[in-house]
Amino acid sequence: MKSYEDLEGDGGSDIVGQVGKLGEKLRSRLDKITHKVALMSGKGGVGKSSITANIASCLADRGKRVGILDADLNGPSIGHLLGVGNDVKLEMKEDGLNPGIGYQGIRIMSMDMLVKTADTPVMWTEEANATAVWVSTMESTAIRELLADTNWGELDYLLIDMPPGSDRIDNIRSLIPELAGAVEITIPSQLSQHIVTKSITKNNKMGVPIIGLIENMASYVCPHCNEEGKLFDGEDVLKLSEKKSIPYIGKIPFDTRVSQTSKMGSLFYTQFKESVTGKAITETVDNIEKFINK
């Protein structure tokens, strides 16, 4: 039996042609999307997905056509936040896979919608000793296919909910060279700020525009009296933004209702936009749109 190296040319696989067609398909999808924005944190557990979902809600509330790509393949949560579970039946058309439709008509594609049950893990091979290179390659391929095979249609914004880790921006930047920018999200704790600093440094070196820094869980807000209290110890995140010379675009207090499943078929923002946290999300989105429009 011949190995791949023994074959002349590509062995009839036309791999170059296949890659070219996939690139054309991806480009045709992205050309219908005006702005692509990555939301990242470097560290998990800072409320990035909840912030992404509510930013999308605010944009949709302004009449924008919004989609979210959940790029966190191993810990997807966007579908759950927007009321689209893994029991949704995705419709395959000739021109691609129709995305799930969440609250306010927000279009969603997430690995969570492609697995059998909510507790099914994403595994690229049954072998327990799969190498990191292999897994990374499979994850990169999956992200490309989620972007290229999803029939996003025309969008004003595609928000990309990034997984933890500053290295994941490499894949997105290679797939979307016209990325409008990255929004960095941290909480006031010293550890979170330390890790997000690495992400900011990498984006600067790669030439990824940084839209700004969001300080999530900046304080605790009582949902009954709207009084604020300190939630984390740590240095002022504003000082970090000044040190790294990036805009400080949002200071969002923690509200217990943000993470609660809505019984009204909507996200926190649409129900509580006049709350302290709701107004902070509004101001954050104002700053994102100012950066992009500028």
- For 241, list phi and psi in degrees, rounded to 5: -65, -35
How far apart CA 55 and CA 61 sit, in angstroms, is 10
Judge whether residue 291 has pLDDT over 50: yes
Q: Where are the domains of the chain?
A: 34-293
Q: Which CATH class is domain 34-293?
A: alpha beta
CB 159 within 8 A of CB 71: no
Question: The pTM is what?
Answer: 0.86
User: Could you count the other beta carbons within 10 Å of the beta carbon of residue 63?
Assistant: 7
pLDDT at residue number 19: 53
User: How many percent of the chain have pLDDT more than 90?
Assistant: 48
- Give the residue carrying structure tokens 């984006």: 203
Listed in sequence order, the residues at least 6 apart from 4 whose beta carbon sits closer than 8 Å to its beta carbon are: 11
Summarised one tens digit per residue, pLDDT across range 188-245 is 888 898 899 999 999 999 899 999 999 999 888 877 777 777 777 666 788 999 999 9
